[in-house]
Amino acid sequence: MDQFKNIGLVGRLNSSSVVVSLKLIIPFLQERGLNVIVDRAIGELVSEYGLQESALRLMGESCDMVIVVGGDGTLLGAARELAPYKVPVLGVNRGNLGFLTDITPDQVCEKITEVLEGRYTIENRFLIDAFVRRKGLPVGEGSALNEVILHPGKTARLIRFDLYIEGEYVYNQRSDGLIVATPTGSTAYSLSGGGPIMHPRLDAIVLVPMFPHTLSSRPIVVDGNVELKIVVDERNETFPNVSCDGQTNIVCAPGDVITIRKKPQKLRLIHPLSYNFYETCRSKLGWGAKLGE
């Protein structure tokens, strides 16, 4: 328990179930003599405990572990802020699927106890950075744990763009866009678009065309260390968008260049020893169990 003295708490807003879990976790940690620091965004929800509040980014500097209570979206937002600080993150699921927040509410005290006692594993999950430049000048940038998506925005029109991998020309495509996903994101939007499921330990990126205007366009899996470049065709009449984890949005223009590459810092994701990726796929995606189960 000595390695986790300062515990950060992050929760999804506008969720009564999240508040219930927070009010279970806080006294549980305090009874063990641990210092609990709560994300400023949810401070009012648990104000009766008189906890120290902090901006999420600063938690990375002051906390030994951060517990995220909510869905995968909540953890995605926390991951982008906390990854540069290498602070380990533990997810408690109060959302829907819960691929990243794998502790269930009924097991929260049991599993946190296991972690505090050193019975856990840590997975390093890489993120990707996206940079948009217009005539050589920066327009915007963002990071993603799941995926970076080029999409039409509010208009339902095809986008024309060129794709380069490590400076080598791949193709010119007309489609609704392109999903660039990490292994973590391979079970998210990429999966809905027909992409493959990748084990989280793979060092790879998958590129999934969105409704391409040709039957020969298929997902491509590439090395995780490549640099991708997407050039928005000058002939486009619309202004496509670049979205990072569905939470950061950059509006592009015809001729813009989008560069995507692996982020230097990784998210340190804590799992209880009982965590099993394939069991998670079975339960979340409805895969068949063994006969007789």
Record the tokens describing residue 61, joined without a space: 């500097």
| pTM for this prediction | 0.93
Record the tokens describing residue 119, joined without a space: 């019975």
What is the per-residue pLDDT for 292? 60
Q: Quick one: pLDDT band at residue 154, thresholds 50, 70, 90?
A: confident
Q: Is the pLDDT of residue 144 over 80?
A: yes
In angstroms and rounded to an integer, the radius of gyration of the C-alpha atoms of the chain is 20
Pick the CATH number of 6-119+273-285 from 3.40.190.10, 3.40.50.10330, 1.10.287.70, 3.40.50.10860: 3.40.50.10330
Which tens digit of pLDDT belongs to each residue from 69-127? 999 999 999 999 999 999 999 999 987 777 888 899 999 999 999 999 999 999 999 99
Q: Looking at 2, 39, 64, 72, which residue is catalytic? A: 72
Q: Is 72 a catalytic residue?
A: yes
Q: From CA 122, how far away is CA 272, in angstroms rounded?
A: 9
Query: What is the residue extent of each domain of the chain?
Result: 6-119+273-285, 127-263
Query: Which is higher by pLDDT, 57 or 147?
Result: 147
Tell which phi-psi region holds residue 134, choosing left (phi > 0), alpha (psi between -120 and 50) or beta.
beta
Q: Average pLDDT of the chain?
A: 94
CB-based burial of residue 237 (10 Å sphere; 0-12 exposed, 13-18 middle, 19+ buried)?
exposed
Contacts of 68 (CB under 8 A, 6+ apart): 10, 11, 74, 75, 78, 89, 90, 91, 92, 101
Residues 193-218, mean pLDDT to the nearest whole number? 95
- Note the CATH architecture for domain 127-263: Sandwich (2.60)
